[in-house]
Amino acid sequence: MKQELKFKVNGEERELWIDPKTLLVEVLREELGLTGTHWSCDTGACCCCTVNVDGMAVKSCSMLAMQAYGREVTTIEGLADGPTLHPLQQAFIDNWAFQCGFCTSGQIMAANALLNENPSPTREQIQLQLDGHICRCTGYNMIQEAIQDAAKRLQKSKV
Amino acid sequence: MKNITNSFEYFSPKTLEEALKLVSQFDKEGKDFKVVAGGQSINLVMKQGVIAPEAVISIKGLSDMDYVKFDEKAGLKIGALATHRAIERSSVVEKKFGVLAEMEHNLSSVETRNWGTVAGNICHGDPGGDVAPVLIVLNANVKMAGVKGERTVPAEDFTLDFYETALAHDELVTEIQIPTVPPNTGVAYTKFSQVVGDFALASVAVAITLDSKKDICSDVRIGLGSVAATPLRAKKAEEILRGKKITDDLLAKAAQAAMDESDPTDSVDASGEYKRELVGVFVKRVGKEALERAKKA
């Protein structure tokens, strides 16, 4: 039997009826059409599907959507300000931090949660935050460089 | 199949009393139900179709039980809804129970630690869980509640078999209690896995308490993970060290005893024989680290 789910997605209040077995990633992709959140390994081992729930990085494939009730979810679609990309997105482009792009939205959302609580993380802190994220293309260095670059851009924009 | 295929009724009680009433009622009705906190283990098992409950009770919303408290007398109290991340980042845990934070740093990924709970981890009863061996050597107790009342069991007796625990169907874990670490005590932990944050092929925790001269081992606890049907306390290995001055030779004997006590199975990652070897290596290595820490404590 369907149950009501009320939550905030990318700043917008959402109300929908879902089967409670539905995972958060299914609601985002299939009910709300937010396909920027990718879904890959099926076992919680790749972190590809990472979104932010109340500011925390969480795997949307490993969480029942009903547990998001009353909470605030941010996906990759929620970062850009109109046509202007978020500094993390722009830094990923400028630093060649992705090739195929499949893991990218998860990497960026994990980095977003990190930068929200720690505006200038060390390289080691970035590695610890991202150690569950699997990328088969870029070899991780450029991803870490992009996050450090984004941290600098974000700090500059606040001055 | 990536999604959960079987549908279930979903309940999200707002208070512990409400949750206990539900589990008690469902238990009496013989309903196949599952209690979910963060669901970081159980959702995966549901996806795999290993379990297909008729009802799921999410206790994630019981925020009253999301706490980490400490005082010298009572020790550390971890509420049932405290996440791994809360333990990892707690300054009092870092200062007084550093080994818990060390264990958490390497438990899966940040994403899992943000949503998954410490109590949920032990309730899952996975012999490969990271939390149990450390709780065992820290002499922790697990507090449970039912409609009839509360009871407490030592962490070392909590897991009964593969994915089976001492928790009755009509009970919930409410708190994990860890006594203050005694003076002159060092605690260390290591897990060995193929990939960072993956399940352990073997994990070893050791707590050593030295006498007031910091010479003789007055007490010792050794916890093993992933190498038997349950997390294990290597009591025979402990006996070899207790009351003695710990030397490399003695640690090697204890390591051999721990290898004999463990009963690992073959898996896709490694043979049982290899896992048993790991136990030997890590009892020596982690034992030595715990001893060094006890000397500095």
Q: Tell me: the pLDDT tens digits for B177-187? A: 999 999 999 99
- Return the closest-CA partner of residue B60 out of B11, B111, B123: B11
* A130 & A154 share domain: yes
CATH of the domain at A69: 3.10.20.30
Q: Please, which residues have CB within 8 angstroms of residue A33's CB and are 6 or more apart in sequence?
A: none
* A56 & A120 share domain: no
Cα gap A58→A100, rounded to integer Å: 22
Question: Which of A78, A103, A137 is the endpoint of a domain?
Answer: A78
- Cross-chain residue pair A69–B12, CB shorter than 8 Å: yes
Output the pTM of the full model: 0.96
Confidence of residue B275 (pLDDT cuts 50, 70, 90): very high
* A104 & A146 share domain: yes
**Which residue numbers of B have CB closer than 8 Å to A's CBs?**
1-10, 12, 36, 38-40, 43-44, 46-47, 56, 58, 60-61, 85, 105, 108-112, 114-115, 196-198
Give the minimum alpha-carbon distance from B112 to chain A in angstroms, rounded to a whole number. 7
For position B195, what pLDDT does the model report?
86
How many domains in chain A?
Answer: 2
Amino acid in the structure at residue B18: E
Question: Which of A26, A51, A78 is the endpoint of a domain?
Answer: A78
* ipTM of predicted complex: 0.96
Output the six-digit token pair for A44.
């919680």
For residue B114, what are the domain limits? Answer: 63-178
* B98 & B197 share domain: no
Backbone angles phi, psi at B117, to 5 degrees: -110, 155
* A7 & A71 share domain: yes
pLDDT above 70 (res B149): yes
Q: Is B98 inside a domain boundary? A: yes
* B142 & B115 share domain: yes
Give the minimum alpha-carbon distance from B66 to chain A in angstroms, rounded to a whole number. 15
Residue corresponding to tokens 């978020």: A86
For residue A137, what are the domain limits? Answer: 87-158
Question: Which of A78, A106, A126 is the endpoint of a domain?
Answer: A78
Q: Is B3 inside a domain boundary? A: no
Dihedral of the alpha carbons of B119, B133, B115, A67, in degrees to the nearest 10: -40
Angle at B203 between CA B285 and CA A63, to 5 degrees: 145
pLDDT above 60 (res B173): yes
- Return the closest-CA partner of residue A91 out of A72, A74, A73, A112: A112
CATH of the domain at A136: 1.10.150.120
Question: Which of B136, B160, B178 is the endpoint of a domain?
Answer: B178
Q: Is B4 inside a domain boundary? A: no
- Cross-chain residue pair A62–B196, CB shorter than 8 Å: no
Cα gap A30→B190, rounded to integer Å: 41
* B142 & B70 share domain: yes
How many domains in chain B?
Answer: 3
* B13 & B29 share domain: yes
Output the six-digit token pair for B96.
């007084």
Give the minimum alpha-carbon distance from B101 to chain A in angstroms, rounded to a whole number. 14
* A14 & A73 share domain: yes
